Amino acid sequence: MRRFRVCIAVIAAFVLAQAACSPRPYAKTNKQHKQQVKAIAKMLRTYPQANTVETAPYWVGTTNFGIRKPNYVIIHHTAQNSCEQTLRTFTMPRTQVSAHYVICKDGTIHQMLNDYLRAHHAGIGRWGSNTDLNSSSIGIELDNNGFEAFPTLQMESLLRLLDTLRHRYNIPAANFIGHGDIAPTRKNDPNWRFNWKQLADSGYGKWYTDTTGLVPVYNDTLALKLIGYDIRDTVAAINAFKRHWLQDSTPGMNEAARKVLYGVLLAQ
């Protein structure tokens, strides 16, 4: 019996290895993806019927419309141990999590969803008055377990992708933000090692100038709210702010941090 179990384990490992080496390892979930897209397209082809929510005796369809487009980019780290692990997670229906793009450590970019479709990446969060970031944003996941730096090849691919998205959808510079910014009580990604200044220098996100002559802001809550943070948990909002603009994971504010807070506020 023991030998039988060992043989079964060896066969299972072999089958998994064969699947991983297949030129189409995600053929099954790709088929399901196409079926879901077709279902959405079918729904879009259904025109509004008269006497559903309107009171007019007949339907009048406008000729002036287009498809909604994304206006934010939310950057994440995967909090998993490999790109392949994340791809598997995002193709398992039971997880109900996804993203538009996954960027591996070697710079490989996987586009997993059309930019116009709604991915399940942002979850419950808020930025300014926007409380449904999933419906207005593109989610980008960086292969990173949350405790390591982001490799040069990965950052270069991210910058190329951001350039494409910014020009394709005319996304404002201030609307390139992190998951930890929109959900500070739940998330801290991308972690404090992420180089937000590198992005801001390329036009993706706002940054502050020299803070030498700035007077520190002493109303932390108001300043954070004006930038966009959800201030219902001020401590979490401060921590998220410091991760983003100071690459600092320590709690609390000081005079230097308040000067940066004012600098960021001026840059909005």
Catalytic residue numbers, as ranges: 141
Cα separation, 98 vs 92, whole angstroms: 9
Alpha-carbon gap, residue 74 to 99, rounded angstroms: 10
Edge to edge, the sheet with strand 101-103 lists 109-111, 101-103, 137-142, 72-77, 176-178
Torsion sign (Cα): 90, 94, 95, 96: positive
Find out whether 243 and 191 touch, Cβ atoms under 8 Å: yes
- Contact between 121 and 74 under an 8 Å Cβ cutoff? The reply is yes
